[in-house]
Amino acid sequence: MIVLAVGSKLITRRLSTELTRSRWQNLLEIVVTGIEKQIEDVGLQNPKKYIGFLGTLFLFVALAALGTVIPGYEPPTGSLSTTAALALCVFVAVPLFGIEEQGLWGYLATYTKPTIIMLPFNIISELSRTLALAVRLFGNMMSGAMIIAILLTITPFIFPIVMTLLGLLTGMVQAYIFSILAAVYIAAATRTRKAKPALAIKT
Amino acid sequence: MDNMTIIAVVSIITAGLTIALGSVGPALGEGRAVSTALSSLAQQPDASATITRTLFVGLAMIESIAIYCFVVSMILIFANPFWNHVIAGAAKVAGK
């Protein structure tokens, strides 16, 4: 986390809008515009509002997984506390963004759509989504680390390296999945029901 | 067989069965999801970005069922509360 914060502070110290820029700034711009485009694809109208939260989630989980290249490194997302904390952040952020977009009553009204009978189910689905986010990330990271640890005692040298590669791949995919799911939940909470447009042509 | 042996045997067998049976369903489901995604990619290659992203999200949701089973079997092997309780009881008896 320190590497992320210090690195981005150093790079953005001298931003330039001309045609030539340092390669670090280029890297950051690629990453930021990539994430922004993904958020927009999911269906959020104004990606600049959410990119702070979602981008941080993605970069933190991705870099936590990338660090397994360094020997002696244990991914922080391999413990249930970290992933539960991240899932709780999403759990808190979804109503925050929803209320910001639709007002308090507007957001609470979405719980009663499509009918009032769905109210307990909507609440339960909200809680279980959060739990699923935490356990999914935790299970993927922990299983990767555990498989490598077990394999190191059985067949050293080559096979654990292959499993480390697989762990890297799943780490990246899980980082992407985590942030995309958070974006989908936020999009579901902030989607305003537009009034049905009147039929244009009547012949 | 005393309590300790029963708990150990049942835990190990259940852990193995959990992960064995629990990975059949998600594997079949993921196979079907990928095959449908491939055929729709063949039909509409220019929507490949959306299809690929939706495929990955769907695969992650299916995979999480297998992850739940894996977590349960890990708990049974490594963080088994009944086993810890029985071990603590046996240690107390031996220390007396």
- The complex scores an ipTM of 0.70
* pLDDT tens digits along A37-73: 888 887 777 778 888 888 888 888 888 888 877 777 7
Count structural domains, chain B: 1
DSSP H helix total and E strand total for chain A: 7, 0
How far apart are the CA of B6 and the nearest CA of chain A, in angstroms? 26
On the CB side of A172, CA atoms within 13 Å amount to: 7
Domain that holds residue B78: 3-95
How far is residue B59's CA from residue B69's CA, in Å, rounded to a whole number? 16
Provide the CATH number for the domain around residue B61: 1.20.20.10
Say if B48 is an interface residue toward chain A (CB within 8 Å).
no
**Cross-chain Cβ contact B68/A181 below 8 Å:** no
Residue pair B95/A162 in contact by the 8 Å Cβ criterion? no
How far apart are the CA of A75 and the nearest CA of chain B, in angstroms? 17
Buried b (16+ CB within 10 A) or exposed e, A79-99: ebebbbebbebbbebbeebbb
Counting every residue, how long is chain A?
Answer: 203
Amino acid at A202: K
Neighboring chain B residues of A77 at a CB cutoff of 8 Å: none
The overall average pLDDT reported for chain A is 78
Q: Output the tens digit of pLDDT for each of chain A's 203 residues.
A: 666 666 666 666 555 555 566 677 777 788 888 888 888 887 777 778 888 888 888 888 888 888 877 777 778 888 888 888 889 988 988 888 888 887 888 778 777 777 778 888 888 888 888 888 888 888 888 888 888 777 777 877 777 788 888 888 888 888 888 888 888 888 887 776 544 454 555 55
pTM tops 0.80, yes or no = no
Say if B34 is an interface residue toward chain A (CB within 8 Å).
no
Amino acid at A16: S
What residue spans define the domains of chain A?
A: 2-8+22-190
Of A41, A135, A184, the CB nearest to B71: A135
